[in-house]
Amino acid sequence: MQDPDLVFSELDLQEGDCFLDLGCGPGDYSIRASRLVGDSGKVYSLDKNRDSIVDLRNRIVSGGNKNIRAEVCDIVGSLPVKDSSVDICFISTVLHSLNLADVENALFGEIRRVLKPEGRLAIIECKKEAQPCGPPIDMRLSPEELETTITKYVFNKIGLRDLGYNYLIQFRRVPDSPSNPVRQISGSIELRPVGVIKNKIERPFLVAGEDGLKMRESLEDTLETIHENSEAASNIVIDESLAGILDGIEEYSHLLILYWAHRVPEDGRSLTRVHPMGRIDIPQTGIFSTCSPARPNPVLTTVVRLKGRKGNVLEVSGLDAVDGSPVVDIKPYVKDFYPQEGVHIPEWMQQLQEEVARDN
Ligand SMILES: C[S@@+](CC[C@H](N)C(=O)[O-])C[C@H]1O[C@@H](n2cnc3c(N)ncnc32)[C@H](O)[C@@H]1O
């Protein structure tokens, strides 16, 4: 245990609190917490190591810590704890031993579930620096790395305390907001590339950054590039492990390709308004009323002509994606799926379409 007085003064446990100790090991923190939360409080001590839990249960019996429930549990699964019941979830020197990238969604989603609306998550980890003992440096997690990961799950960092070789970092769960239901969805959605685009298009004709969307070249050259791209040949190489996924596709003349604009920088993903096509002569408008490649999730769509298929490779024309773009999905293009009557578009979009068509 780290300096327990320091740790528990930071944790500021109150009588009646519910304390969840994930990866509790021998349970020293759990036992101390049990005294602080008292008979009206509760301590859950979970560890995947059966021997640790058996030993801790013996300590509980001999110490009379009736408010501790010690259970064998893999913390990277569902936790045997009720929704919104925990005041403090505590994880000491455990996270570095997990493959956090693989388990973070499950782990922090579950921690969010069991914490009270403004409950706290307190983590002790070894500093990421060479030390005489402890895990190898490349396994260690810095406070900044933890902050980047955990705030994705709708937590705010509320404190960082030096413990010598270790540190204690604390987060507060941001309560669900009925007025912003999107913020209640924590974590990220995982997309798997199903293929990759191979062609001669080396770079996007629009560039995005924190200062907006711009054409890389003059308007004339950009229109020329759009024209070239509308005829460009591309191969879409589908992951061989998805055998069978292309069966029947040759019966369509056109396909709708959804691809990830992998060259859009992070800055470009936080834009909300742009000049369409980077044209400063057209007033800024919301990204969702444009086809800007810079968008929060840069999933772009293009209808292409299917020229042929060779095994797992589709030969198409008219795909404006840059070489190496990951393909997210492919759908058949069925023109009757889309409304034909009563379709109207803004004047500026009409003007852009006419300029592109004129150039062709
Ligand atoms: C270094 S010990 C820390 C014990 C205790 N938290 C402390 O600081 O004294 C790490 C503990 O995490 C537990 N652990 C590691 N991965 C786990 C998992 N996926 N589920 C539950 N416990 C885990 C191990 O069994 C071990 O008891």
Residue 352 has pLDDT above 80, yes or no: yes
Q: Which of the residue ranges 13-17, 175-179, 195-199, 310-314 would you say has the lowest mean pLDDT?
A: 175-179
Spatial separation of the C-alpha atoms in residues 161 and 183, rounded to whole Å: 28
Q: What is the mean predicted confidence (pLDDT) over 161-183?
A: 90
Residue 223 CB neighbour total at 10 angstroms:
20
Q: What is the mean predicted confidence (pLDDT) over 223-228?
A: 86
Grade residue 242 by pLDDT with cuts at 50, 70 and 90: very high
- Decide: 28 in ligand 1 pocket, CB within 6 A: yes
- Decide: 48 in ligand 1 pocket, CB within 6 A: yes
Grade residue 230 by pLDDT with cuts at 50, 70 and 90: confident
Q: Do residues 313 and 236 lie in contact, with contact meaning Cβ atoms separated by under 8 Å?
A: yes
- Residue range 195-359 forms a domain whose CATH class is mainly beta
**pLDDT for res 97:** 96
Spatial separation of the C-alpha atoms in residues 89 and 105, rounded to whole Å: 16
Residue nearest atom 14 in ligand 1 by C-alpha distance: 23
Residue nearest atom 27 in ligand 1 by C-alpha distance: 25
Distance 74 CA to ligand 1 centre (A): 9
Q: Indicate which atom in ligand 1 lies nearest the CA of residue 1.
A: 9
Query: Could you tell me the sign of the dihedral formed by the alpha carbons of 165, 126, 24, 80, in that order?
Result: positive
Distance 48 CA to ligand 1 centre (A): 7
Q: What is the mean predicted confidence (pLDDT) over 284-288?
A: 96
Q: Which of 275, 301, 282 is nearest to 213 (CA)?
A: 275
Q: Do residues 70 and 30 lie in contact, with contact meaning Cβ atoms separated by under 8 Å?
A: yes
- Decide: 74 in ligand 1 pocket, CB within 6 A: yes
- Cβ contacts of 291 within 8 Å, gap of 6 or more: 300
Grade residue 1 by pLDDT with cuts at 50, 70 and 90: confident
Grade residue 133 by pLDDT with cuts at 50, 70 and 90: confident
Q: What is the mean predicted confidence (pLDDT) over 266-272?
A: 89
Q: What is the mean predicted confidence (pLDDT) over 42-49?
A: 98
Residue 161 has pLDDT above 70, yes or no: yes
pLDDT digits 0-9 by tens, 83-92: 999 999 999 9
Q: Which of 175, 143, 117, 170 is nearest to 9 (CA)?
A: 170
pLDDT digits 0-9 by tens, 334-346: 999 999 999 999 9
Q: Do residues 56 and 43 lie in contact, with contact meaning Cβ atoms separated by under 8 Å?
A: no
Q: Is 226 helix (H, G, I), strand (E, B) or coil?
A: helix
**pLDDT for res 30:** 97
Residue nearest atom 24 in ligand 1 by C-alpha distance: 23
Spatial separation of the C-alpha atoms in residues 346 and 146, rounded to whole Å: 45
Task: Map tokens 């569902």 to a residue.
Answer: 78
Residue nearest atom 20 in ligand 1 by C-alpha distance: 74
pTM (2 d.p.): 0.68
Distance 28 CA to ligand 1 centre (A): 12
- Decide: 25 in ligand 1 pocket, CB within 6 A: yes
One fold for 4-184 and 195-359: no
Q: Is 280 helix (H, G, I), strand (E, B) or coil?
A: coil
Q: What is the mean predicted confidence (pLDDT) over 260-274?
A: 92
Spatial separation of the C-alpha atoms in residues 205 and 322, rounded to whole Å: 9
Give residue limits of the domains in the chain: 4-184, 195-359
Ligand 1 pocket, mutate which of 94, 125, 140 (most atoms under 8 A from CB): 94
Spatial separation of the C-alpha atoms in residues 13 and 29, rounded to whole Å: 12
Max Cα distance, the chain (Å): 87
Q: Indicate which atom in ligand 1 lies nearest the CA of residue 103.
A: 19
Q: What is the mean predicted confidence (pLDDT) over 204-211?
A: 83
Spatial separation of the C-alpha atoms in residues 336 and 343, rounded to whole Å: 13
User: What's the mean pLDDT when you consider all of the chain?
Assistant: 93
Residue nearest atom 26 in ligand 1 by C-alpha distance: 25
- Decide: 75 in ligand 1 pocket, CB within 6 A: yes
Which CATH superfamily does the domain covering 4-184 fall into?
Vaccinia Virus protein VP39 (3.40.50.150)
Secondary element (H or E) of residue 62: helix 50-63
Grade residue 359 by pLDDT with cuts at 50, 70 and 90: low
**pLDDT for res 197:** 98
Distance 185 CA to ligand 1 centre (A): 28
Distance 30 CA to ligand 1 centre (A): 13
Distance 187 CA to ligand 1 centre (A): 24
Secondary element (H or E) of residue 274: strand 273-274
Angle between helices 28-37 and 50-63 (to 10 degrees): 40
Sequence length of the chain is 360
Spell out where 155-266 has E strands: 155-163, 166-173, 195-198, 206-209, 212-215, 233-238, 254-260
- Decide: 47 in ligand 1 pocket, CB within 6 A: yes
Ligand 1 pocket, mutate which of 47, 71, 88 (most atoms under 8 A from CB): 47
Distance 24 CA to ligand 1 centre (A): 6
Residue 185 has pLDDT above 90, yes or no: no
